Structure 1
Amino acid sequence: MRFNKFGHDSSIKFDFVKKARYFFIFSIAITVLGIASLGIFGMHYGVDFRSGSSVDISVKKDMSGQKEAIEKYLADNDFGKPNLTVGSSRVTIRFDDVLDPAKEKELKAGFAENFDKDASAEVNTVDVEIAKELERNALIAMLVASIGIMLYVSIRFEWRFALAAIVSLVHDAFIVISVFSIFQLEVNLPFIVAVLTIIGYSINDTIVIFDRVRENLRFSKIKKPADLDDLVNASVGQTLVRSINTVLTVVVAAVCLLIFGSEAIKLFSLAILIGLVSGAYSSIFIASPLWLVLKKKQKPKTAVKTPAAS
């Protein structure tokens, strides 16, 4: 085991600081692509954030190969072309318009007659005002979470750490939003829960690295900018194995949910999976190098001159 001047294992040799510009460029490119996608395509909001009806049908038989037949049935019976998700034991139909009681009854009876007589359906309806309120509350929740995290990091560390942490969090959340916008995946309340979970996970990983940076900063003698570079490289290297192991354990759980979970939580699992990878990436390659950029812009403290003895 080799130890560096900070007194910790230095077996991991990678210049995170020198390569930081490439990671910054990559993240900026993804951000620009996401902004372009949001401007052109927007988000594919589910029934939670727009008026309409969502019909969740639990079936006893495997329906995974019946999607085209269900679409034909809906079109032939004047139900239009709603968003349809078909799984082995669950069928979800999302209508842009609110279904009246007569249509609800017709849909339930028709599905039981044509596909599964033992099927049970649950209809959830959201009107325009509720949809707007949910969207507003979701944005407020994310804003409050970000402000709370920034205040916490500012108190525990300093404002440079806080700013770098918030940029990292926004980066992670925006990566998930961009992917859902580009591929037009449905955005609903579980998606908001996933984003808030990602924010909490990402800041935890970032705080671990920042804590090591602060510890090394406390016991080191910084005489030139290159010393700060070495400090950040050493700090990230010392926590890298821990960060990778942590994200891998959670990724395994998220992948299992994505593969074996029901249709209702697949998009939630996908958002969590994307956010976990993005969170680990930003904590290692974005947050600490960004703090270093801010730290190097700090004005050096000037020594107080004492008057010469006469």
Structure 2
Amino acid sequence: MINFAQIGNDLYTGKRSIDFVKRQKTWYLLSSVLIVLALVGIFARGLNFGIEFSGGSEFRVSGAASTESYEEKARDAIGQAGIGGNVETTIIGQNTVRVQTEAAQDRTAAAQEALGQEFGVPENQVSSTLIGPSWGESVSRQAIQGLLVFLVLVTIVMALYFRTWKMAVSGLVALLHDLVITVGIYALFGFEITPSSMIGFLTILGYSLYDTVVVFDKVRENTAEAFQTRRMTYRQAANLAVNQTLVRSINTTVVALLPIAAVLVVGFTLLGPGTLLDLSLALFIGIAVGAYSSIFIATPLLVDLRRNEPAVVELDRYVAKHADRRPVRVGAGAGARAGEDAGQSAPVGSAGADVTGAAGSYDERADGAPEPAGRPLHRYVQAGPRNQPKRPPKSKR
């Protein structure tokens, strides 16, 4: 039986490791394919905007005697009322039929009467709503303005918090990656975009940013330690951070998706189209894509952006040059220092752990002389007992 708790612990300590950063080309290729498909859906098929954006009339027939052939009945009724254009019909709940048409204007009463006759209900059970396109345009404009303000503020805050603009750029790329793919899925599958969907699109940016910031915070901690101890490359430290936060990211995503999935099931089977279904669908797609980008895109991109920095290049050269002279200790921190103070060796890959394999509980000097674990020697220290001060001759005592 798979012990997920043990796997998570091994990933955190470094006993097991998935090299996310080294395989960045694979993740980039996969994301590129998804983005191309999304753009094809957006520009080739187009977005299916709801009536709130295009304007028109909406009729709802409550308590329909029968919903069989409801699309044909709705088209016949709208045609009898003299309303042209496209007619979209959906079922809401068990016996409510929603009919969307172009603006009915003075033919609204005729449409209500015809729909009541077709579905066998009194005319007062057929409601009508006239929606102008200006309302949807206002919502779209405000949503775009909110998105631009959000991106600017996120860039400033991340650049100040992490003290490097490259982390801010990586986070923004991950955000745009999530947004494009989510909207592209809507276009490819023809899901209707409503004001509730727009709210969902803006909400998923927060979820995506939250996951990315958690990973980046661990990356900053590990890489700062790597620059200080000079025992890991920048890439190794960043990859360790992704592994250490992997289980947390998966758990958070699953916990968030489960209730949303329940709402989707209820919405599709019982409630039908509506604000709840539109919002939950956008959240489900966006949170799933956001978890992917925080793990597979943000950190590998950050490493690529910082790869040629002088400090990173010098650190990589130093670690490669001294890799055969002393053991590698990864993730050094408070736990490592505590283990060293106690004279104990830490687990492989954990803070202060020796990654020598054959050295057991001892570090290995260049000349083969062992040293108790947790007490690394300078590479020029000689083996054997320390030199003692020379004693004066007996005649001079």
Q: Same fold (TM over 0.5)?
A: yes
Equivalences, count:
299
Post-superposition shift, 1:167? 0.5
**Structure with greater Cα Rg:** 2
- Is the aligned partner of 1:98 residue 2:109? no
Q: Say if 1:2 and 1:9, in contact at 8 Å, map to a contact too.
A: no
* CA displacement, residues 187-239 of structure 1 (integer Å, 9 cap, x when unaligned): 11011111011101110111111111111122223788971221122111111
Structure 2 CA distance for aligned equivalents of residues 204 and 301 of structure 1? 26
Q: Secondary structure at the match of 2:283?
A: helix
For 1:225 and 1:22, locate their aligned partners in 2 and report how far apart those are by CA, in whole Å.
Answer: 27
SS state at 2:301 partner: helix
Partner of 2:206: 200
Residue 352 of structure 2 corresponds to none
In structure 2, the residue matched to 1:48 is 52
Q: Which of the residues 246, 267, 271 maps onto 2:278?
A: 267
Secondary structure of the corresponding residue to residue 55 of structure 1: strand
Of 157, 171, 176, which residue of structure 2 is paired with 1:152?
157
Partner of 1:190: 196
Tell me if structure 2 keeps the 8 A contact 1:82–1:94: yes
In structure 2, the gaps of 5 or more residues are: 1-5, 315-397
1:244 to 250, 261, 264: 250
For structure 1, which segment, 127-136 or 285-294, has the greater mean C-alpha deviation from structure 2 after superposition?
Answer: 127-136
Sequence identity percentage: 26
Counterpart amino acid of 1:133? S
Q: Distance in 2 between matches of 1:298 and 1:274?
A: 36
Question: Gaps (5+ residues) in structure 1?
Answer: 304-310
Q: Which moved more, 1:116-125 or 1:242-251?
A: 116-125
1:101-112 correspondence runs (5 A): 102-112=106-116
Q: Distance in 2 between matches of 1:156 and 1:3?
A: 28
- Deviation of 1:23 after TM superposition, in Å, equals 0.9
Kindly provide the amino acid, as one letter, of the partner of residue 269 in structure 1. Answer: S
Superimposed CA distance per residue, residues 99-154 of structure 1 (whole angstroms, 9 cap, x where no aligned partner): 21x42223333333332537745434333433333322221122222222222211
Instruction: Report the TM-score, using the length of structure 2 for normalisation.
Output: 0.67
Q: Which amino acid aligns with 1:144?
A: V
Distance 2:205 2:155 in 1: 12
Distance 1:168 1:302 in 2: 25
The 3 A distance-change label for structure 1 pair 301 and 134 is closer
CA distance in 2, matches of 1:245, 1:23: 21
Q: Report if the CA contact (8 A) 1:59-1:116 is conserved.
A: no
- Structure 2 residue 263 is matched with structure 1 residue 254: no
TM-score (norm 1): 0.85
Higher RCO (C-alpha 8 Å, min separation 6): 1
What is the CA distance between 1:278 and its match in structure 2? 0.3
The structure 1 residue matched to 2:186, chosen from 180, 183, 191, is 180
Kindly indicate whether residue 298 of structure 2 is the aligned counterpart of residue 287 of structure 1.
yes
User: Could you tell me how far apart the structure 1 residues matched to 2:313 and 2:42 are?
Assistant: 48
